[in-house]
Every structure is written in C-alpha cells, then in structure tokens.
Amino acid sequence: MRVSTTKPLLKSLAGEVPSRPPFWLMRQAGRYLPEYRATRAKAGNFLDLCYNPELAEEVTLQPLRRYGMDAAILFADILLIPHALGQPLAYREGEGPVLDPVRSATDLGKLDVSAIQKTLDPVYETVARLSQSIPKDCTLIGFAGAPWTVATYMVEGRGSKDYLHSKHWIYSDPAGFSTLIDILVEATTDYLLHQVAAGAEVIQIFDTWAGVLPDDEFRKWVIEPTRRIIEGLRRQHPELPVIGFPKGVGGNIIDFVRETGVSAVSLDTGTPVGWAAKEVQSLVPVQGNLDPLLLVEGGKAMEARARDIIETLGGKPFIFNLGHGIVPQTPPENVARLAEIIRGA
C-alpha cells in the first residue's frame, strides 16, 4: 500500500519499506537528558509536568532536537487515566507511582468516568501544540496504557512483582474485575479519541504487564479489552494506525495481532527477531527491539546488536525502537551513536 505522506513512520505503518528504517525510542523524553531534569525541576512534581501543556510540549521536543527521531510521543503517563477517574496518585522519588488501591465494589463506586475530560484537557492541549510544532516529517504519537496494565497499578497501588491483589481479584471475582476493565475501556477509548481529535496521528497502547497472565486470562484481560478499544477508535477513524505493545507474551503475540486489530506491534527485547521476521512481520509491520541496557552499554555490543536487528527486520515494514523504555542511566551520547547507526553511518 502507498500512502500520500512524506512521513517515514507513517509509510512504514502503511506497509512501505523506506531506504532506512524510521525510528523513535520508548521513553525518549526522560531523566537521562539533563534538559528534561531541568524542565522537570521547573514544573515541580511529575504530575504538574504532565498537566502543563507548555512544559510537556517542551520535554516532548527535547529528544527530537538532539537526535531527530521520526516520531514525537506525547509526554504524559499511563496513570493519568486512574488519576482523572479520581484515584489519588503521587510519584515518589525513587519509589515510582503510589495510588490508593482499588480492591472492592465500594472502591469502584468512587471512580467517575464522566469527570475525566476536565482533568485531561491540558493533555489534549499539549497534543494540539505539538501538532503545530513538531518537524514536518515527524509523526505525532498519542498513547495510553492498556486496561490490564493500568488496572494492575490501580489494584496493587504501586508497581508489583507478583500481582498478588490483581490476580486474587481476577480469580475470585472475575465479574467485579470486569467492571474495572469496562470502566478503563470506556475512559481509554474516550481519552484516545480526544488525542486524535487534537492531532495525534498514531496511537500506541502500552501493555507492559501483559506477559504475567496465563493463556485464558490473557485472552480475557489483554486481547479482549484492547480489541474493544481499537474497535471504538476505528468506528470514528477507520484508517487510524494503532501500535500494540503486549510485553512479555511470547508466542501469544500472534493471537494478539490477529484478534485485536492492531496495525503494528512492538516487540519486547526477549522476542527472537528471526522468528518475528517470519511469524509476526508476515502479518503486520513490527517495531523494536533493542535491549535498553545495550543503550546504557553503548560501544561495539550495542552497535552489533542494532545492526543485527536492522538486518533481520529491515527488509519488510519495520520501525526501529527499543524492547522497553530508555532507563535514566543511559548516556545521551550512546543515543546519538544509535541514531547514526540507524541512519546508516
């Protein structure tokens, strides 16, 4: 398929193979950049930064100025949805996000879907500003967390290693947990439609913890809610490109692609690229999957792996990216070197 655009990322998503792969990096705006840390300090706390259109626009643009990525990803966070639903949320230094856990019907009753837009309005303003300010051939990506991953933070009240409370809920009271997922499907669809209306050209759905569920639960809480969100988006925007990122799901990525309706899929670091070239890239364009820790390492190890990924996946529609987000310890000069390698230097 050919699309009438000069934007390399949109071309790859439409199935074309440009002379070099387009690239962007998950969490490309963040603490590894001194200019991010300076803007963040100016904003106060992290949520203030997310809800300040001028500063959120600024941090979105920072990595583009240094490295010329082919996409800008809206600066926000997947936990703005629970926050907008009325769940108290704070980001603590060194601890990550902390929320008042939602674990019962009473807790669910306190969430208010009708109230989210008022809180989220500044995010749409950030998108609108970016759609005017990003470079001409750069694509604007909007995003949200997938219901399962967002639900794990809402239920655990923080990041988790074992998902004790979330899994207890799905196994003991699937109907109750469905209510939470339904709220998230509705709020997330609405949130993403507003992002598209404000100028987002592509949507990515982050399902970071998709890989911790057994098969049947994976279908119920990952595939099905994601499918419903995409269906809701496509009802209004039939051609909207949506990238899925179901991290850690192994071979289940095939059913994920076939059944959710994603236009492209992001591969985590553990996915063998040779396998993905045959089994996944034959279905949809793929994105990925350099180990973010190789970007910390740099040098020959990073270079060899990046070239290997490009060699294996670059012959078909492909977007270079990491297998997960950039970590704060990343030396900015390694990102510059990676950009050179992708551009063929």
> Of the candidates 7, 8, 2, 4, which has an alpha carbon nearest to the alpha carbon of residue 314?
8
Does the footprint of ligand CP3 cover residue 206 (CB under 6 A)? Answer: yes
**How far, in Å, CA of 104 to CA of 238, rounded?**
37
Does the footprint of ligand CP3 cover residue 31 (CB under 6 A)? Answer: yes
Q: Of residues 55-74, which lie at the interface with ligand CP3 (CB under 6 A)?
A: 73
For ligand CP3, which stretch binds (CB under 6 A), given 75-83, 100-108, 271-279, 312-320? 75-83
Does the footprint of ligand CP3 cover residue 332 (CB under 6 A)? Answer: no
Among 27, 220, 234, 337, the residue binding ligand CP3 under the rule CB under 6 A is 27
77 is catalytic: yes
Contact 260, 230 (CB under 8 A): yes
31 is catalytic: yes
Binding mask 275-314 for ligand CP3 (x = CB under 6 A): ----------------------------------------
**How far, in Å, CA of 64 to CA of 48, rounded?**
22
Q: Total residues at the site for ligand CP3 (CB under 6 A)?
A: 22
Question: Helix, strand or coil for residue 264?
Answer: strand
Judged by beta carbon, residue 67 or residue 277, the one nearer ligand CP3 is 67
Task: Identify the bridge partners of residue 288 per DSSP, sorted by sequence position.
Answer: 320
Judged by beta carbon, residue 263 or residue 330, the one nearer ligand CP3 is 330
Does the footprint of ligand CP3 cover residue 26 (CB under 6 A)? Answer: yes
27 is catalytic: yes
Does the footprint of ligand CP3 cover residue 320 (CB under 6 A)? Answer: no
153 is catalytic: yes
For ligand CP3, which stretch binds (CB under 6 A), given 27-35, 235-243, 279-287, 301-309? 27-35
Among 77, 156, 201, 268, the residue binding ligand CP3 under the rule CB under 6 A is 77
CA atoms within 13 A on the CB side of 42: 12
Binding mask 89-118 for ligand CP3 (x = CB under 6 A): --x----xx---------------------
Q: Report the run of H or E that residue 93 belongs to, with start and end.
A: none
**How far, in Å, CA of 190 to CA of 228, rounded?**
12
**Least separation in angstroms between CB 46 and ligand CP3:** 5
Alpha helices in the chain (DSSP H): 8-13, 34-43, 46-50, 53-67, 80-84, 105-109, 116-133, 147-156, 164-172, 174-198, 215-218, 224-236, 253-260, 273-279, 292-297, 299-313, 332-342
Residue in the block written with tokens 């236009």: 263
For ligand CP3, which stretch binds (CB under 6 A), given 21-29, 172-180, 227-235, 306-314? 21-29
**How far, in Å, CA of 130 to CA of 133, rounded?**
5
Q: Could you give the angle at the alpha carbon of 202 between the alpha carbons of 67 and 250, nearest 5°? A: 90
Does the footprint of ligand CP3 cover residue 84 (CB under 6 A)? Answer: no
**How far, in Å, CA of 330 to CA of 262, rounded?**
30
Judged by beta carbon, residue 52 or residue 277, the one nearer ligand CP3 is 52
Just list the catalytic residues.
27, 31, 40, 77, 153
Residues that bind ligand CP3 (CB under 6 A): 26-31, 40, 46, 73, 75, 77-79, 91, 96-97, 143, 145, 159, 206, 208, 325
